[in-house]
Amino acid sequence: MDFCKQNVDVRFGIIWGASISDLDAMAIFKFWATRFGLSLPMQSGMIYDPWKNYNDNSVEVLLHATAVAVDGHGLLILGPSGSGKSYLAIEMLALGADLISDDRVWLRSGGTEIILYTAEPVMGRIEARGLGLLSCPMQTCIPLKYCLDLSLISEARLPFAQEVTKLGHKILVLPGRPIVPQAAALMLLVKNGFAAYD
């Protein structure tokens, strides 16, 4: 089986793999994960791509993700199925956040920033595993402030945000493993940002 046209932005560069074997791809990713303290999980024998666009055009991006709004700022939560995107969003909703979209999120360029939009089929609903679909307060669009990737691993106690570029804008991506940030801490982060380090 070939691993084709997969690209991953790892801190300082992009690794491009085109038609290389899974074994070679894993060796490359292990090298970069060790070098930068990051890891990318395998999903069903292939590398998981959190930025896979489920849309056919390049003007807007449809992601498998969940997004919430806190005081006029958006948090995009990425991760494979079952990684806890909805669970974390529900915890934030219970603390006063509003849902933008669960399971599918649109990203569009809004001039100087990326705007998160609701995917209409799931508007105003979030899945609680073992319980069902829940109604919740929502907003249909909000500017993106941070992204949390539940597939991105950093062993650092105070991990650095990774920077990726989508739709011509830079996005700060925070690692969400091995310790998933607390919902309350994420609420404070989205409201107030990071404190300056002395």
Number of domains composing the chain: 2
Integer angstrom CA distances of residue 182 from 81, 83, 120, 176: 20, 15, 28, 10
Residues 68 and 34 grouped into a single domain: no
Q: Specify whether 82 is located in the same domain as 34.
A: no
Cα dihedral: 6, 57, 146, 148 (round 10): -40
Q: Are residues 103 and 155 in the same domain?
A: yes
38/114 same-domain check: no
| Residue 82 shares a structural domain with residue 164 | yes
The answer as to whether 156 is a domain residue is: yes
Average pLDDT, the chain: 81
Helices (H), the chain: 22-36, 85-94, 183-192
Q: Using N-to-C axis directions, what is the helix angle for 183-192 and 85-94, rounded to 10°?
A: 70
Domain membership of residue 198 (yes or no) is no
141 and 102 in one domain?
yes
3-state secondary structure of 86: helix
- Structural domain boundaries, residue 12: 2-47
Predicted TM-score (pTM) of this structure: 0.76
Name beta bridge partners: 80.
none
Q: Note whether 18 and 42 are same-domain residues.
A: yes
Q: What is the number of other CB atoms lying within 10 angstroms of the CB of residue 30?
A: 12
If asked whether residues 19 and 95 sit together in one domain, one would say no
pLDDT tens profile 68-101? 999 999 999 999 999 999 999 999 999 999 999 9
Q: In this predicted model, what pLDDT tens digit does every residue of 23-69 receive, in sequence order? A: 455 455 544 454 445 444 544 456 889 999 999 888 899 999 999 99
